[in-house]
Chains A and B, each alone.
Chain A
Amino acid sequence: MILDSLKLDGKVAIITGAGRGLGRAMAVKLAETGADIVAAARTQSQLDETAEAVRKTGRKCLIVPTDVTVSAQVNALAAATIQQFGKIDILVNNAGGGDGALGKQLPEITDDEWRRGIDTNLSSQFYGCRAVIPQMVKQNRGKIINIASGYGLRGGKHNFMYACAKGGTIQLTRSMALTYAQFNIQTNCIVPGVFPHNEATMQFFKGGKFIPIGRVGQDSELGPLAVFLASDASNHITGELIAIDGGGLAGGIAPTGVSPENTN
């Protein structure tokens, strides 16, 4: 029965970047659907808030403060999950983001800024995959969800580290999918569109400008998509990208409502 295959009762999910935004939204929705959560992020206070929201659903939440750019910490995150819950069913590689170096002129970008951008967004996901795979292979079962971005598919002016890393996310997803298909481990990618987390972005996309569907995304909308990809309903979907972007990647090259002149 299709609705049963969408349940996550008794599953254990690690979510990075779980302290706020999309990560928190996915943590809460996975918990609502039956999963126990291991929440990882840098900021303890934010993790505490996420844990409170998760526990309100009746599920458990293990908090593991983690710097995902440090592979030893990511390994420890996986180990803590196994120690606490005995298994790892789901990994959501969500941690990442732009930083102060986004938008800098190319000749002024330092080696450190380049590495930090790649480490925060791509290496972190690689470390996550590497850390959970032995357990998932042992289980002959696992779900890995990598969060990418429209900038993983398209370029942006003065956008080097983030775009390169997010492009790498997509390739990591494909190679993981092919390598671990035989162990019943599915790896897929969510490509979020515009989900503003600051005033400037909200203002820029006010009224849904540039977004075909006419509005920006709400963090909570990531939840059901993560549930779908974490569930048995997607067992034959792997190496796939799913954009949740209000039609942005199908169009989005101009403010919406603009179309060519009629020739008819």
Chain B
Amino acid sequence: MASSNASNDFSLQGKSALVVGAEHSVGRAAAVTLAEAGARVVLASQEPGTDKRLKEVAKLVNAAGTKPVIRVQDAAMRADLSATVDLAAKELGGLHILVNALDTPAYGPEETNDDTAFDKIMENNLKTVWMSCQEGARVMLRQGGGVIVNITSVLAERCVPNAALYCAAKAAVLNLTRALALEWARKGIRVNAVEAGWLEDESSPANKGDEFSKTMLKYLPYHRLVKPEELGGALLYLVSPAAGFVTGESIAVDGGLRARV
């Protein structure tokens, strides 16, 4: 008998996926993974004015699988998100998979955080995720089911100084994931999360060669940062038909960070 048929359990052939935050390294990695597994993908931005970056991501997704649909939008605008979700469902004949790769890093001392900073940080890192889940679920409930993955951070569980509100927002995304999973558990929608460890990308403060970066590398079990593409396996498992009994859960891709004291 021939070799493996991993494809059957993890294949996304015939599935449609929307990635929100596709301009970020993690969104890009998510989109490429979904395309490689056979899904048709809509790339939606978190920020407006990201046409160029989305086109670059689209090239990678095209090479990986199929030509994606591009949607530059402002994920903080409910009307934009709503229209994006409807467009995705229309273009792809339904919406099976929603991946929220929404993130706006916010590092700085507490004394510089004021009420405006609170609103901004929560809006960019939490409210966008919640709005996107609501809009996605609107379509998925109509269809009878779907799957959502929220990509958050190990900061949700392992804090650092200089990031109080950012850590709080990341944890809120994690708990929102669990609560929404319970909300829609009997309505066919699974909701899970991927917790990204300290990433090797342009926005990561651990990737700068400074004292903080050196310290992280010393204490991370693998002594290196997580490459965004390394999130792909966990993401694929969670959205695949094989994970039909998994909901309200989070998989951390963190090279063992959370396992240590």
Contact B6 A227 (CB under 8 A): yes
What per-residue 1/0 map shows which CB atoms of A208-219 lie under 8 Å from chain B? 000011100110
Contact B185 A213 (CB under 8 A): yes
Task: Tell me the bound Cα distance from A138 to B177 in angstroms.
Answer: 41
Q: Quote the shortest CB–CB distance from B63 to chain A (angstroms).
A: 11
In the complex, A7→B2 CA distance in Å? 12
Chain B residues within an 8 Å CB radius of A177: 221, 256, 259
Cβ 8 A contact of B6, one of A7, A193, A238: A7
Task: Contact check, B259 vs A9: say whether CB atoms are below 8 A apart.
Answer: no
A212–B186 touching, CB < 8 Å = yes
Contact among B1, B230, B232, B245 for A244, CB-based, below 8 A: B245
Contact A250 B178 (CB under 8 A): yes
Given A214-B186, A238-B259, A239-B258: A224 and B245 interface contact (C-beta under 8 Å): no
CB of A233 within 8 A of CB of B232, answer yes
- Kindly list chain A residues whose C-beta atoms are within 8 Å of the C-beta of B232: 2, 233
Neighbouring B residues of A3 by C-beta, 8 Å: 6-7, 10-11, 36-37
- Residues of B near A79 (CB, < 8 A) are none
Task: Tell yes or no: A240 within 8 A of B by CB.
Answer: yes
Q: Give the distance in Å from the alpha carbon of A171 to the alpha carbon of B260 in the complex.
A: 10
Asked if B256 and A2 make an inter-chain contact with CB atoms under 8 angstroms apart, the answer reads no
Contacting residues, chain A, for B1 (C-beta < 8 A): 57-58
Which residues on A sit within 8 Å (CB–CB) of B37? 2-3
1/0 per residue, CB under 8 A from A, across B238-261: the answer is 001011111111011111101110
The secondary structure that dominates the B interface is mixed
- Residue B110 interfacial (CB < 8 Å): no
What's the dominant secondary structure at chain A's contact region? loop
Across the interface, which residues of B come within 8 angstroms of A213, CB to CB?
185-186, 190, 245, 247
Q: How far is the CA of A98 from the CA of B90 in the complex (A)?
A: 51
B116 interfacial contact with A, CB 8 Å: no
Known A181-B256, A224-B9, A224-B10; judge A6-B233 contact (CB<8 A).
yes
Q: How far is the CA of A58 from the CA of B3 in the complex (A)?
A: 9
With a cutoff of 8 Å between Cβ atoms, the chain B residues found around residue A57 in the complex are 1
Residue among A7, A174, A181, A233 making CB contact with B255, cutoff 8 Å: A181
Q: Is A228 an interface residue, CB under 8 A from the partner? A: yes
B255 touches A236 (CB 8 A): yes
Q: Is A75 an interface residue (CB 8 A)?
A: no
Most chain A Cβ neighbours within 10 Å, of B6, B234, B237, B255: B6
Q: A174-B259, A212-B182, A218-B245 are in contact. List 10 more A-B contacts (CB 8 A).
A: A8-B6, A9-B4, A33-B4, A212-B186, A217-B245, A236-B197, A238-B259, A240-B259, A244-B249, A246-B247
Could you jot down 6 A-B contacts, CB within 8 Å? A57-B1, A218-B245, A224-B237, A235-B230, A238-B255, A244-B243
Q: Which residues of A contact B (CB under 8 A)?
A: 1-3, 5-9, 29, 32-34, 57-58, 173-175, 177-178, 181-182, 193, 212-214, 217-218, 221, 223-225, 227-228, 231, 233-240, 242-247, 249-251, 256-257
Which residues of B are in contact with A by a Cβ distance under 8 Å? 1-7, 9-11, 33, 36-37, 178-179, 181-182, 185-186, 190, 197, 221-222, 226-227, 230, 232-234, 236-237, 240, 242-249, 251-256, 258-260
